[in-house]
Chain A
Amino acid sequence: MAREYKPQIVTANDLFEGDVVYFTASHDWVRDLGGAVVAYSKEAAETLLGHASDQQDKVVGPYLAEVVMGEDNRPEPAHFREAFRTRGPSNYFHGKQAEA
Chain B
Amino acid sequence: MYKYNDFDEAFVRNRVAEFREQVERRVDGSLTEDEFKPLRLKNGLYLQLHAYMLRVAVPYGTLNSTQMRQLALIAERFDKGYGHFTTRQNIQFNWPRLKDVPEILELLADVEMHAIQTSGNCIRNVTADHFAGAALDEIEDPRPTAELLRQWSTDHPEFQYLPRKFKIAITGAPNDRAVTKAHDIGLRMVRSEAGDPGYEVIVGGGLGRTPMVGKTVRDFLPKADLLPYLEAIMQVYNLSGRRDNKYKARIKILVHETGLDEIKEMIEEAFERQKRDFRGPPSELLEMIEEAFAPPLFDNTQSLAFDHAQEANPAFRSFVETNVAAHKNPAYGIVSVSLKPIGGTPGDATAEQMRTLADLAEAYGHDELRVSHEQNIILPHVRKADIPAVYARLREAGLATANIGLVSDIIACPGMDYCALATARSIPIAQQISTRFDELKLEREIGPLKIKISGCINACGHHHVGHIGILGLDKAGKENYQITLGGDGTETATIGERTGPGFDAEDLIQAIEAIIETYLGLREDTSETFLQAYRRVGAEPFKQAIYARPEDEARAA
CB distance from A10 to the nearest CB of B (A): 15
A81 at the interface (CB under 8 A from B): yes
The reply to whether B97 and A89 contact each other, CB–CB distance below 8 Å, is no
B477 at the interface (CB under 8 A from A): yes
Cα distance A88–B472 when bound, in Å? Answer: 18
| Residues of chain A with a CB closer than 8 A to B33's CB | 15, 56, 60-61
Given A16-B27, A57-B29, A81-B416, answer yes or no on A94-B95 (Cβ-Cβ < 8 Å).
Answer: yes
Scan B80-103; emit 1 where CB is below 8 A from any A CB, else 0: 100000000000000111110000
CB distance from A95 to the nearest CB of B (A): 5
CB distance from A84 to the nearest CB of B (A): 6
Given A16-B97, A18-B98, answer yes or no on A91-B50 (Cβ-Cβ < 8 Å).
Answer: no
Cα distance A89–B49 when bound, in Å? Answer: 9
The reply to whether A85 and B32 contact each other, CB–CB distance below 8 Å, is no
CB distance from A15 to the nearest CB of B (A): 7
B447 at the interface (CB under 8 A from A): no
B427 at the interface (CB under 8 A from A): yes
CB distance from A42 to the nearest CB of B (A): 20
Given A17-B97, A84-B417, answer yes or no on A95-B27 (Cβ-Cβ < 8 Å).
Answer: no
* Number of A-B residue pairs at CB separation under 8 A: 71
Q: Of B29, B32, B97, B479, which contacts A80 at CB under 8 A?
A: B479
Closest to B49 in A: A85
| Residues of chain B with a CB closer than 8 A to A57's CB | 29
CB distance from A22 to the nearest CB of B (A): 14
Chain A to chain B: the 10 pairs with minimum beta-carbon distance, closest first = A89-B417, A18-B52, A18-B51, A95-B50, A91-B427, A91-B345, A57-B29, A60-B33, A16-B98, A90-B428
Scan A2-19; emit 1 where CB is below 8 A from any B CB, else 0: 000000000001011111
Residue with the highest number of chain B CB atoms closer than 10 Å, among A56, A84, A91: A91
CB distance from B396 to the nearest CB of A (A): 22
CB distance from A73 to the nearest CB of B (A): 22
The reply to whether A90 and B51 contact each other, CB–CB distance below 8 Å, is no
Given A16-B98, A17-B97, A56-B33, answer yes or no on A91-B47 (Cβ-Cβ < 8 Å).
Answer: no
Cα distance A92–B418 when bound, in Å? Answer: 11
Q: Of A16, A61, A81, which contacts B99 at CB under 8 A?
A: A16
Interface residues on A, range: 20 to 34
Chief secondary structure at chain A's binding surface: loop
B127 at the interface (CB under 8 A from A): no
CB distance from B39 to the nearest CB of A (A): 13
B252 at the interface (CB under 8 A from A): no
Scan B419-431; emit 1 where CB is below 8 A from any A CB, else 0: 0000001011001
Closest to A13 in B: B47
Residue with the highest number of chain B CB atoms closer than 10 Å, among A19, A81, A84: A81
A33 at the interface (CB under 8 A from B): no
B223 at the interface (CB under 8 A from A): no
The reply to whether B427 and A61 contact each other, CB–CB distance below 8 Å, is no
| Residues of chain B with a CB closer than 8 A to A78's CB | 477
| Residues of chain A with a CB closer than 8 A to B32's CB | 56
Given A13-B47, A85-B49, answer yes or no on A90-B97 (Cβ-Cβ < 8 Å).
Answer: no
The reply to whether A90 and B50 contact each other, CB–CB distance below 8 Å, is no
Q: Of A15, A19, A91, which contacts B51 at CB under 8 A?
A: A19
| Residues of chain B with a CB closer than 8 A to A18's CB | 47-48, 50-52, 96-98
A36 at the interface (CB under 8 A from B): no
| Residues of chain A with a CB closer than 8 A to B99's CB | 16
| Residues of chain B with a CB closer than 8 A to A88's CB | 50
B535 at the interface (CB under 8 A from A): no
Given A19-B50, A20-B50, answer yes or no on A91-B98 (Cβ-Cβ < 8 Å).
Answer: no
Q: Of B48, B50, B425, B428, which contacts A96 at CB under 8 A?
A: B50
Q: Pick 16 A–B contacts, CB within 8 A, sort by A.
A: A13-B47, A15-B33, A18-B48, A18-B50, A18-B52, A18-B97, A19-B50, A20-B49, A56-B29, A79-B477, A81-B49, A90-B425, A90-B427, A91-B428, A94-B50, A95-B50
Interface residues on B, range: 20 to 34
- Report which B residues bind A (CB closer than 8 A): 26-27, 29, 32-33, 47-52, 80, 95-99, 345, 416-418, 425, 427-428, 431, 474, 477-479
Cα distance A84–B51 when bound, in Å? Answer: 13
CB distance from A88 to the nearest CB of B (A): 6
| Residues of chain A with a CB closer than 8 A to B425's CB | 84, 90
Cα distance A80–B474 when bound, in Å? Answer: 9
Given A56-B33, A57-B29, A90-B417, answer yes or no on A95-B431 (Cβ-Cβ < 8 Å).
Answer: no
A10-63 contacts to B, CB under 8 A, are: 13, 15-20, 56-57, 60-61
Residue with the highest number of chain B CB atoms closer than 10 Å, among A85, A88, A89, A92: A89
Q: Of A20, A60, A80, A89, which contacts B418 at CB under 8 A?
A: A89
CB distance from A63 to the nearest CB of B (A): 11
| Residues of chain A with a CB closer than 8 A to B29's CB | 56-57
| Residues of chain B with a CB closer than 8 A to A19's CB | 50-51
| Residues of chain A with a CB closer than 8 A to B49's CB | 20, 81, 84-85
CB distance from A17 to the nearest CB of B (A): 6
Closest to A89 in B: B417
The reply to whether A89 and B50 contact each other, CB–CB distance below 8 Å, is yes
Given A16-B97, A60-B33, A80-B477, answer yes or no on A92-B80 (Cβ-Cβ < 8 Å).
Answer: yes
CB distance from A79 to the nearest CB of B (A): 6
| Residues of chain B with a CB closer than 8 A to A90's CB | 417, 425, 427-428
